[in-house]
Every structure is written in C-alpha cells, then in structure tokens.
Amino acid sequence: MLALVAVALFAQTSVSIGVGSKTTDSVKVAKIEARREAQRDSIRARRADRDSTRRKRREAKIIHVTPALLASAFRDAGARELLTRARAARLAQDSSLLGYDANAYERMSVGMGLTRFGRDHLLFRTERASRVLWSRTQGAMVEVKGQRTASTMLSDGDISVGFSGFEQVPYFPGRETLWIGSGLAKSDVSDEDIVHPLAKGSEAYYTYATGDSVTFALPGGARIQLKELLVRPRTPKWNVAVGSLWFDQSSGQLVRAVYRLAVPMDIMEIAKEQNDPKKKDDGMPGWVRGLITPITAQVKAITVEYGLHEGRFWLPRVQSVEGDAQVSLMHVPFTMEQSYRYTSVNGTDPFPVFSIAAGDTAQDSVSRAARREKRKSECKTGTERVRVEHRENEHMNVLVRVPCDTVALARSADLPKSIYDPGDELFGSADRDELIRQALTLGAQAGYHPQPPTISYGLSMTRYNRIEGLSSGIGADQVLGNGYTAHAQVRLGLADLSPNGELSLDRSDGRTTVGAGVYRRLAAANDWAGPLGFRGSVSSLFFGRDEGFYYRSAGAEATLHTDNAFLGDWRVFGEQQFDANV
C-alpha cells in the first residue's frame, strides 16, 4: 500500500498487507508460499543486476560542494560551528555505554477516504509492545510482550499485517540519530533516498542558521545548554528536509528534531529517476496510468526526541512520522509512532548468550523453507517462536522471541486498554503537536528554485454530466520554491463546447495551504451530492441520473485549507454567475 512507502523509507520496515479470509488449506498455503519464494528470488536477481548501473548514475547526480556553495551555506558563524560539532558527534561512539534494558511500544495507523479533504476512516491499526535488551558485546534480544491489529472497515479475519524488521532496537553503535533509514549512519551525503542534513557534503543541498537556545539544570548543579539549528533546502525536492534540530551544545549530540520533506513525493516521477533513463517505456499501459494517477505521498512531520540517562547518554525516547498519500481519487493518511522507556542503563543483569548459524541468515529458498518449518514446529512443542538473525545494515545479531498464544498477545497488560486510545501519555502528543506548530510554520520552506512542471490528464481530469457531456482537460502544476506552487488547467465538454479554465497560486507547509486564483468554471449548488465528482459522473453515465443544479461562474478567489478540525476550510470569492443551459 502506498501509504506505507514513506514509513518504509524512514524506518527500513518491510510491510506486507493481506486482505481476504485466512487460508487454512495446506495445499493452497504451500502454493502461496512457493509463489512468494519465486517472487523474492526474482526481485533479488533484478536488484543485483541494476544495482551497479544505479550506483554509477547516483554518483554522477551528486552535487559536490564548491567554494561558492560553502560560502552561502551558513547564515551565521555559529551555524557552521554547530554543524561541525554535530557532524562529528553523529559518527562518534561512546564506548562507556555497555547496555540497556528498555520497554518499547510501536504503533502504525492507516486510514482511507475517497476525497482529498473529506473525512477519513481508519483502515487498520497495529501495535506492538516488547522488551529490548542490548549489549555492546552480545547484540540485542527482543521479547514481544503484546501485539494486535484492528480495523474499523474490515473484520479481524480479513486483514493481516506483516512486519519484517519491525522489532526496532532503540540504540546500537553507529545508529542513525535522525531516524532517516534507521540503520547505520553514513558519513557522506547521498541523494539515493533522503539527503541527510548532517552528512559530509550536505552544504551543497542545504543552508543553515542558528535559532533559539535553552538551558536547564540537572540534579547536582550541572547545566546543559541546547542550541537550535535551522535547516533549509536550497531547492524544493522530495528528498530534502525542512526542519529544526536541537543539539547538546557541549557534546553535539542530537536531543530533539522536527522536520518534514520539502515537497510531496510523486511516485511515478521517482520511479523514472531510479530506472534507466534510456528506457522510455515503463511497461504500464496508458489507460492504467490514467486510472491510478496521480500517485503522491507527503511526509508532513517527523519528530525525534532523546532522553538523558546517567547524566551523559542521550537515548531515543519518542519517534513519530505522519503524512498521507493520494492514489487517484483515494486519500490515505498514515502515522507511525515509537516510544521507549528505559528500566536500566549499564545495568548488571545477565544477558543471554546466543549464536548465529549459517542457516539462520542464508537467503536461498531451501534455507528459508527450513526456517518456516522450524517456526511452525516450535509452537507444537513449545510456547514461543525464536528467531535469530544478523542484521547486515546494523552490524548486529538479534534474538527475537514471540509467544505462540496470539490471544494472550492481544490481551497483554503491556498494551493500552484499547487499541483506539489516542496514546497521548505514551507519545506526548500535545508536546509533539506544539513542537511541530512552532518549527514547521508556513515560513519554513525550501529556497526559490522553480522545478519542471507536472502534466495531469486522463481519469483524474475526466467527468460526465448533463451539461458538458463527456468533459476532459489537461492540467499543469509547477513547484516554484518557498512553498509556492502554480496551477493551471483548461477543460472542454463535448456537449456544450464551452471552454473552462483556472489559474492559481498557493503556498503550503503540508498542514496549511493558502491560495489565490482566477477561474471560469462549471459549478454546482448542491451541498453534499458532488455531481462534478467521480460518484456523480458514474451515476450520470451509467444510470442517467444527474442531480446537479448547475451554473457557470467566473471570478477570483482566496482559499485556506488546514488540518485543524476547528478552522476547517475557508473560501472568499467574487464572481459573476450565469445560466448553464442544457
């Protein structure tokens, strides 16, 4: 599901969703597993073939830091000094941190709606509570204490959510502090995914300025000063971040971060960038492209907060990512939240010793089949499944224990009373929302740098009604920078042959959008029916039923859209209205 693209992008979490009744026929299950194995092998083979080619293209695309770019990267001398200190601290490892014992709670929610600004419904929510023990010399052990999935739109037996790598380990040496990729921190900049604002060479992509500072006292009289670093991209692209980063001024350790991607992700355009540019045809029929586009995903806010332990160790406390996706006419909001509470840091409790066998990590089909059979037999002879893995991207051995009793997992006392609880206490939602409100304002934007326009046509621009008959058009959207986007579209109906058009400019920070424009359009006075939408077009075309009360209008308007439920959407306009004759 597209809503999980951004989640997987940040958390390196592989998500699989199955919809339909659970299969109990062993023959059918075996066939399904065989198909999955063949698909995995095929994907690995294709990935290996194109990795070398992609690597060369990425190296050619990287923008290198020039003296001119370096000179314009810092708004003040303090920003350069703070970035240098933070860059060194990001790759440093404190050898005095030997281990910890933490309780983790993770939750993912995905909704669905049929309009961009209409009411969304919860598609599913899944949550997991676990105990995480980490040792510098042994690795990590994850004991799953509770786990459940619920849906308001599907029955419990109709949806299954599988997470590979969902057992997150809060900290390990070299861990990425900003939760970009959630694997090992990379020293040099790369525009393969998200351009890291602290990586070496990031001055070619970002500008920096110091912000506020905060000082607080610890028991015993020690004082810690936090300093804010404001990060702004030079160009408005999907893989750069706008945000505010807070660091311990003495050590350069990250303490708090709130950021978002500069512009929404156009999935089709990203696929073009990552594929061979010489291959013009992506294999998708034109009618299919028109049916499913636009396909976009927007990461509205990522927050990361650390807590101080033993007076010197900054360890992750709360992490969250929220955004939404648009697939043709379907709107899909999503959130992922993680919370960690540490019962001991550098404690003396013994850590279980475990080893990794070659068969535990081999990726051939025989080894994977053997591991599946082992997992099935474990619950027949014992009370838990045990999985041992070596995470290459984290250079760490991990032992995972999952109880076989799924009913007990769903009713675990380690989970909230209800899966639908808002989780304010666990995630500090009020503090997070205030942090986002202050840091990600409408003025926090990427620089002004117009991007190539995006052309829209097909199903998303087509409708049917009794005035226009079959009506279609073409639209163009161009990201300008500083949060501004220009929109233009023209439309013509085959029945009335009366041209319509719109021209507008808006500014958005992902949560609030203000705009102004001029237009000549066909409008409907209906409050709820939406005769000019997809539902009304289907009713008119296939059933000959059109409940629209139509008129033509021409004028100018100013609009406001916000995620705030109390403010809602506003429109101020001046227009001339006249009849729309059939």
**pLDDT recorded at residue 158:** 47
Q: What pTM does this model have?
A: 0.83
Inter-residue contact 140 to 396 (CB < 8 Å): yes
Residue 296 carries which side chain, given as an amino acid letter?
Answer: T
Cα–Cα dist 276/17, whole Å: 29
Tokens representing 133 are 């023990």
Say if CB 134 and CB 99 are below 8 A apart. yes
Element holding 464 (H helix, E strand): strand 463-465
Residues 6 or more apart in contact with residue 220 via CB below 8 angstroms: 311
DSSP, res 421: -
In 27-172, at which residue ranges do the beta strands (DSSP E only) sit?
A: 99-112, 121-135, 139-150, 159-164
Could you list the pLDDT tens digit for every one of the 582 residues in the chain? 444 444 444 444 544 555 555 544 555 656 666 666 666 555 555 555 555 555 555 555 788 999 999 999 999 999 999 999 999 999 888 889 999 999 999 999 998 876 655 567 888 899 999 999 999 988 899 999 999 998 876 655 445 555 544 568 899 888 888 876 557 888 888 877 789 999 999 999 999 999 999 998 888 788 999 999 999 999 999 999 999 999 999 899 999 999 999 999 888 777 776 665 555 555 566 656 666 667 889 999 999 999 999 888 999 999 999 999 988 778 889 999 999 999 999 987 777 776 666 556 666 666 777 767 776 677 877 788 888 887 766 678 888 999 988 889 999 999 998 888 877 767 777 888 888 989 999 999 999 999 999 888 887 788 999 999 999 999 999 999 999 999 999 999 999 999 999 999 999 998 899 999 999 999 998 766 578 877 788 888 888 888 888 999 999 999 999 887 677 789 999 999 999 887
Cβ neighbours around 361 below 10 Å, total: 15
Distance CA 354, CA 357 (A): 10
CA distance 537 to 530: 9
Distance CA 561, CA 184 (A): 39
Residue type at 553 in one-letter notation: S
Q: Encode 453-474: b = buried (16+ Cβ within 10 Å), e = exposed.
A: ebebbbbbbebbbbbbeebbbe
Residues 6+ apart with CB under 8 A from 536: 463, 465, 529, 530, 546, 547, 548
pLDDT at position 528, please? 64
Helix axes 365-381, 26-61, angle to 10 degrees: 130
Position 543 scores a pLDDT of 85
